[in-house]
Amino acid sequence: MSKTRDDVGFTAKNMAAGRAYETRRSDALFIDPFAEKLAGKEVLEDVIPRLEADEKAGKPFTSIRTRYFDDLILGHSQNIQQIVLLGAGLDTRALRMEWAADTHVYEIDQSNILTYKESVLEDIQPTCNRHAIAADLKDSLWSEMLIKQGYQPSKPSIWLLEGVLYYTADDL
């Protein structure tokens, strides 16, 4: 896989590596038991020096961002049963967090990303109703696909666009 900044697949693995790095810490802000497997050994080894440097500089970006959004979502999850992860990447919230049985987590991303995630985590069962929607956010009718998967626009929901705006800057 190419290691260019524009390669979304590599970026997704980079984020998984960041979550894996945090998970290894004795004082981890969160635990993502699937992150290391999703990142893969090569990416993890490549990213660790940067993560260590960020940590020493007091900039644990991935860890703080992940914990912040985890807390935000969980803080509202008793009242809101629809969570939309737009540009989900290798996010594992549907699998690693405890959800009420009637919660629906909709993961929307490119087909290759979701196929990879499914292949790596095929034996893991979510505690929510997980919906993987393969769509290019620029070129598809992803909102129609979301509704076909059961999303109800009239019900409260949380939308998380964690990192998506980096890829839309040229389109604005």
* CB contact at 8 A, 103 and 129: yes
* CB contact at 8 A, 38 and 90: yes
- Tens-place pLDDT, residues 94-103: 999 999 989 9
Q: In sequence order, what are the residues at sequence separation of 6 or more whose Cβ sits closer than 8 angstroms to the Cβ of residue 59?
A: none
* β-sheet bridge partners, residue 82: 104
* CB contact at 8 A, 64 and 141: no
Task: Look at strands 104-109 and 82-86 and give their pairing.
Answer: parallel
Mean pLDDT of 47-71: 90
Determine the Cα–Cα distance for residues 35 and 157; give it in Å rounded to an integer: 26
Please tell me the pTM assigned to this model: 0.89
Q: Where are the domains of the chain?
A: 8-61, 68-171
Domain 68-171 fold is Rossmann fold (3.40.50)
- Tens-place pLDDT, residues 117-153: 999 999 999 989 999 999 988 877 999 999 999 999 9
